[in-house]
Amino acid sequence: MDKLFSIGFWSTVARFILRNRTTILIVIAAITVLLALQWKHMRFTYTEANLLPDDHEVNLEYTKFLKEFGEEGNLIVIGVKDSSLFTPEKFTAWTTLSKDIGANTEVDLTLSVGDLQKLEKRTDTLGFQLVPFIKDSVFTQKKLNRYSYELFNNLPFYEGLVYSPDKQSVRTAIYLKKDIVNTAARKDFIVEDLIPLIEDFEEQTGIEVYTSGMPYIRTLNSQNIIDEIGMFIGAALLVTSMIFFFFFRSFRATLISMATVIIGVMWAFGILGLLHYEITVLTALIPPLIIVIGIPNCIFLINKYQQEIKNHGNQAKSLQRVISKIGNATLMTNVTTASGFATFILTNSKLLKEFGIVASINIIAIFLLSLFIIPIVYSYMAIPKYKHLKHLNKNWIARFVNWMEVTVREHRIAIYTSAVVLLCASIIGMFQIKISGSLIEDMPKKAEFFKDIKFFEQEYEGIMPLEILVDTKRPKGVMKLATLKRIDELQVFIEEFPEFSRPISVAELTKYSKQAYYNNNPEYYQLPNSQERTFLLSYAKNSVENSNLLSSYVDSTGQYARITTFMKDTETERYERIEEDLRIKIDKIFPPERYNVSVTGKAVVFQKGTKYLVNNLVISLSLAIFLIALFMAWMFRSARMILVSLIPNLLPLIITAGLMGFLGVPIKPSTILVFSIAFGISVDDTIHFLAKYRQELIANNWKIKKSVYAALRETGVSMFYTSIVLFFGFSVFTISSFGGTVALGALVSATLLFAMLANLLLLPCLLLSLERSIANKETFKQPALQIIPDGEDENDDDS
């Protein structure tokens, strides 16, 4: 293994690349074309991310619910809060809007004031019939006043469905066909049919319409993701190219680097298509990530090439040394970065697994592209001129290096004190971090649909469907009066929570049936008593067979009942307390020996998924730290080097966690990614520095101080260059409209900045302070991997 990664091996690789330049470029072009052909298989997600594994208990309960009642996230709502709605012209337009929407083949049914059905007692037989609430086709103001009074005062069944609890707003419920909810047909209907119809109504009446519901939110959210991919790629290319040009002052070097990472982006899209993965809010980050991570590879390779040209002017020798000397170092740094992403594969979340697989594959791919393309392209070009090498002699770079050396030499106590103070403060901040299971927190705050979400939260007390599935364990057990009373008792308990909307269930339908029996007197909107039970339930059973009202809340066998409510956006800690109280009450109302009751729905799946994800990513990060620690120990053959290498990389993570606590940034799916990503990238600088330090130790006969300062001067500039590129590269994510992506970009940028300072200042100080423990031939043995060769390769030639 030692020989495999020896300088002899890399010299062979260098000769292979330079002797097969044309063939390699043709192969790269062919792979690029083949992967471009896979773009057609890329799919944009039509469902919200399920963070739980398929066999998780919460998912199994949700699947059972879907089996009995079908897709629950098929409701779109449009609402208005305008007193002028109940005027003839505007009410006619509102009714027409509902009919036009309902005429689409994607719509199962609409529930609006204009097409409401109400229960009436039949005169020809036992049972009820559904009759139109509004029978007129031409409206007068007097009739509309009567209808609005009757709606708000005599039809309590429709409270929360058609009108708000405070009776200030009304809405139309649009139920999509369940088989198109998670398909492209949903997007086509919403974008091409629903939105234009709503806009026409607004223009015609001057009334603002608010639109929400899971299908609508998911569609516009997905469209935002698609729109931002191009924006991220463009911004990442612009920012990194500007910084690259500022450092190198060479259009040629900048264009070569940009071309390399653009090919990497094409490969990233191709791999997504090849694997048939959906583009989610996470996988959408991969193409710009490849740009940000790929540019440092280009910096190391081009910087080394220009240094070699400056030293001896021999192009062939320079290119061979670029590959043989930088190839191994960049391989190791890319492997550690890829391993940071690859740890996501070990989680049980499909979303994270796909992100980890594609990201780690593409990080290795961009390394190979950089290693092949840059030396080959330069081999076809003229030797760089003096103006291309002037940046190597910049005065400000020399001043920066001198500042680092002076700080390490003269202010070691201040560096340690600062590190300890930051550590203590950050630990305090860490204990203030909260976990967020909010669905809407990361959504674009400036987007129109976000304002609509807040409207429905305020007016209708919730947007996220929460379902309670009651299994009576016997056919037709739901319509037993005892069961109905238990369901009603649970609904009364649910209504006590301000986070929940008014629940709907078969109990409400039964109350409505009693009201209808007593000539729709709202005072009789209640469950039947024991005397009324027999004939009222007979009426109810006969009537529901002729409508689809009951089928929405009771299965065909009558064994399963469904209680539907909607939950406001709720903090995870608060939700857990509510759930605990709810489950205690359920066990009390529904004895487990007689009923099986499960709390499910998208609200529960998302909340549980967030907590599951956090737990998994903590394990994932721990595993990443452990694996990289083992890698460092094996690479340098020194167990004590684990401590030295981990401290400057763990401290920035702790500082960032502390900042999150102080700034109120919660732990959520987006921000938890920060730590694994940042750790995998920041450890690269440590590898470069320690590898150079070991080389200097041997060259300087184990003189510690001389070796530390020499390594600092040699690697400091490249570490600074790459850290600045990474800092500004990840900063482009802050232009996102998604809060989670903004937080990810800002936190990774901050972490990498702290990591750069820790590796440039704290790491040399540790080496100097621990010199007697680690800097001797016994503890700092010959490394397993020859990252940077000890001296020049005697086999260099001009091939």
Query: Consecutive 10-residue runs of the chain (799 residues): their mean pLDDT?
Result: 54 85 92 91 67 80 83 82 90 91 88 84 72 82 90 88 88 85 82 91 92 83 77 84 80 87 92 86 81 83 79 80 77 80 78 86 92 89 67 68 84 90 92 75 73 85 85 89 92 91 88 85 87 68 53 83 87 85 93 91 80 74 75 68 80 88 80 76 78 75 79 79 83 80 84 87 84 54 48 42
Contact 520, 121 (CB under 8 A): no
Is 165 in a helix, a strand, or coil? coil
Pairing of strands 278-279, 43-44: parallel
User: Fold match between 1-41+224-387 and 394-431+637-799?
Assistant: yes
Burial of 80 (0-12, 13-18, 19+ CB in 10 A): buried
CA 149 vs. chain centroid, Å, equals 46
Domain made up of 394-431+637-799: CATH architecture? Up-down Bundle (1.20)
- What is the rounded distance in angstroms from the CA atom of residue 426 to the CA atom of residue 338? 27
| pLDDT of res. 380 | 86
Is 76 in a helix, a strand, or coil? strand
- What is the rounded distance in angstroms from the CA atom of residue 732 to the CA atom of residue 195? 31
Q: Residue 568: how many CB atoms within 10 A of its CB? A: 21
- Domain boundaries 1-41+224-387, CATH class: mainly alpha
| Boundaries of every domain in the chain | 1-41+224-387, 62-215+445-605, 394-431+637-799
The neighbouring-strand residues paired with 171 are: 79
Is 467 in a helix, a strand, or coil? strand
Residue whose C-alpha is closest to residue 709's, from 639, 789, 771, 651: 771
- What is the rounded distance in angstroms from the CA atom of residue 587 to the CA atom of residue 605? 21
Burial of 104 (0-12, 13-18, 19+ CB in 10 A): middle
Q: Residue 794: how many CB atoms within 10 A of its CB? A: 7
Whole-prediction pTM value? 0.75
Residue labelled with tokens 């305020």:
458
Contact 446, 737 (CB under 8 A): yes
Burial of 38 (0-12, 13-18, 19+ CB in 10 A): middle
Burial of 8 (0-12, 13-18, 19+ CB in 10 A): middle
